[in-house]
Amino acid sequence: MMTRKLLGLTAAAIACACAGAVLAQEAPFAQQIKARQGIMEYRALQLGVLGGMAKGEVEYNAEAAQKAADNLLAMSTVDESMLWPKGSDVDANPASEALPKIWEDGSDVGDRHKALADAAAAMQAAAGKDLDSLKAAMGPVGEACGGCHKAYRKAD
């Protein structure tokens, strides 16, 4: 009786392992793609707070603006290199929005990431001062995000 149970559990474990291997083959780099998309969503959340204030959709709040700018800077300076393995593009995995040209020779994606970090640092210095300072810092952040997305993200 115990042997039959053990054989059944072993067969179930093997079946799960095989199913996991098949899923991994169907969706290469799924974990890395999900993680980098999470970082993008977190940045978008912070930009939503800052942009809402800059557009006058919500009242300016120096403390909330500073917190969002601090978070934006933190997430713009994280080393994401392990989340961008070659082959984790939209052609290999439809969950990705990254174009294969990110990995081509001559890609300026590293420079664009640095531009975002620089713009986020300027936003951090400006956001908690006053609304005009926050507004002035929004343009470079938007340009950094948009420039990379236009060049290296699949068009909607």
- The tens digit of pLDDT for each residue in 41-72 reads 999 999 999 999 999 999 999 999 999 999 99
Return the sign of the alpha-carbon dihedral for residues 16, 17, 22, 28: positive
Please report which confidence band the pLDDT of residue 150 belongs to, taking 50, 70 and 90 as the band edges: very high
At residue 6, does pLDDT exceed 50?
Answer: no
pLDDT at residue 9, rounded to an integer: 47
pLDDT at residue 37, rounded to an integer: 96
pLDDT tens sequence across 68-111: 999 999 999 999 999 999 999 999 999 999 999 999 999 999 99
8 inside domain: no
pLDDT at residue 66, rounded to an integer: 98
51 inside domain: yes
Cα–Cα distances in angstroms (integers) from residue 8 to residues 5, 14, 25, 74, 105, in the given order:
5, 10, 26, 49, 51
How many independent structural domains does the chain possess? 1
12 inside domain: no
pLDDT at residue 24, rounded to an integer: 46
Please report which confidence band the pLDDT of residue 156 belongs to, taking 50, 70 and 90 as the band edges: confident
State which residues form the domain around 82.
29-152
13 inside domain: no
Per DSSP (E only), the strands in 28-107 are none
Residue with the bigger pLDDT between 52 and 156: it is 52
138 inside domain: yes
Output the pTM of the full model.
Answer: 0.81
132 inside domain: yes
pLDDT at residue 29, rounded to an integer: 95
Residue with the bigger pLDDT between 144 and 1: it is 144
What phi-psi label fits residue 29: left (phi over 0), alpha (psi between -120 and 50 degrees) or beta?
A: left
pLDDT tens sequence across 7-42: 454 445 565 555 454 444 557 899 999 999 999 999
Q: What is the domain-level CATH number for residue 71?
A: 1.20.120.10
133 inside domain: yes
The number of beta carbons lying within 10 Å of the beta carbon of residue 113 is 17
141 inside domain: yes
